[in-house]
Structures are given as structure tokens and as C-alpha cells.
């Protein structure tokens, strides 16, 4: 194992320890960040990764199939400074990441990190999460959803974040 993989593994394990007792959030810490390069993760501490995983867990809580969720929030990180976290949850389909990244680039965002696991879930009729099954294909019927978390340089003004969220919703509607 190279030092990048070892560093990433240690950081994720530390985040998971902070999420003890939060089953889905702990699983999401691994599912979100296991394929992200250490050079993108090293700006964060374990508490940051735990907070990002909790946020993704909250986003997964309720979504109707066929719909999409978009959320942007500014987050203060342990190393100092603020990043804007763009979170998207959508049915898994081709070209989502390319379309989202194109909009972010066109909007002048400086991307710091991209995490994009495809996760299997089960939901009740109202779209509430009943089972988080992780990134492995499910043995029983499940919904495959695309969870996208992009960290960009801070978007300081709420109006700018809201405008970007609107453009991203339109992009998702067009995909």
C-alpha cells in the first residue's frame, strides 16, 4: 500500500471513530472518500470528514425516485478557512458528473474535491430512506442513486450560492 492510500485509510478510519453509533454516516465516510486522492483530503481533519459524511447522510434521508436534491452550504474546516460544499442526490444516470462539473467550471468555481459514489438504497413510498446498502450492488432489489459531493472555493454570498443551486437544478432536469 502506498503512503497516499495509507494516509487516506487512516484519515477515514479516524472519521469513522468519530461517527461511532451513526451507522449510515460511518459507512458514508468510507463510501464518499475511499476513492478521493489524499492530496484532496489532506486539507481536512477527521472531524471535517465526519461532518461531510453526516451531511451526506442527512441528504439521503428523503428523496422521491425521479427527483433530485441540490444543496450548497459554506463549511468552516479545521485547518482554517471556509469551503462551499455542493451536494447532489439523483437517480444514477450517465453524464451527471460531467454536466455538474461543466456548470461549476462555467460558473467560475475552483474545485477542491470531488466525491461521487453510486449507492444502493431502499426507500418507502414517501421516499424516506429505509436501508442504506452502500456502494456494492445490492443482493435484493434496491435503487441506485448518484451521490455527488463537490467542494469548491468559498462562495461567500448566499445569493450567488442560491443562483448556482438553481442552475445546477436546471442542469439535472436537462440530463
pLDDT of residue 136: 85
pTM of the complete model beyond 0.75: yes
Count of the separate structural domains present in the chain: 1
How far apart (Å, rounded) are the C-alpha atoms in residues 134 and 32?
Answer: 10
How far apart (Å, rounded) are the C-alpha atoms in residues 121 and 28?
Answer: 12
Tens-of-pLDDT digits for all 175 residues of the chain? 456 799 999 999 999 999 999 999 999 999 999 999 999 999 999 999 999 999 999 999 999 989 999 999 999 998 889 999 999 999 999 999 999 999 999 999 999 999 999 999 999 999 999 999 999 887 778 999 999 999 999 999 999 999 999 999 999 999 8
How far apart (Å, rounded) are the C-alpha atoms in residues 60 and 145?
Answer: 9
pLDDT of residue 1: 45
DSSP 172: H
* Residue where the block lists cell 431502499: 122
Quote the domain boundaries for residue 59. Answer: 3-174
Amino acid at each position: 500500500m502506498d503512503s497516499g492510500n495509507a494516509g487516506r485509510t487512516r484519515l477515514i478510519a479516524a472519521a469513522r471513530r468519530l461517527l461511532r453509533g451513526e451507522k449510515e454516516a460511518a459507512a458514508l465516510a468510507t463510501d464518499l472518500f475511499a476513492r478521493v486522492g489524499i492530496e484532496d483530503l489532506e486539507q481536512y481533519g477527521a472531524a471535517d470528514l465526519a461532518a461531510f459524511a453526516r451531511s451526506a447522510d442527512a441528504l439521503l434521508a428523503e428523496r422521491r425516485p425521479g427527483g433530485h436534491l441540490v444543496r450548497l452550504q459554506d463549511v468552516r474546516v479545521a485547518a482554517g478557512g471556509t469551503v462551499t460544499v455542493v451536494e447532489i442526490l439523483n437517480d444514477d444516470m450517465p453524464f451527471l458528473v460531467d454536466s455538474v462539473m461543466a456548470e461549476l467550471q462555467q460558473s467560475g468555481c475552483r474545485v477542491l474535491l470531488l466525491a461521487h459514489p453510486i449507492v444502493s438504497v431502499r426507500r418507502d413510498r414517501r421516499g424516506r430512506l429505509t436501508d442504506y446498502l452502500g456502494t456494492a450492488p445490492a443482493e435484493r432489489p434496491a435503487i441506485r442513486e448518484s451521490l455527488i459531493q463537490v467542494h469548491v472555493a468559498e462562495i461567500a454570498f448566499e445569493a450567488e450560492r442560491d443562483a448556482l443551486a438553481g442552475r445546477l437544478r436546471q442542469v439535472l432536469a436537462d440530463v
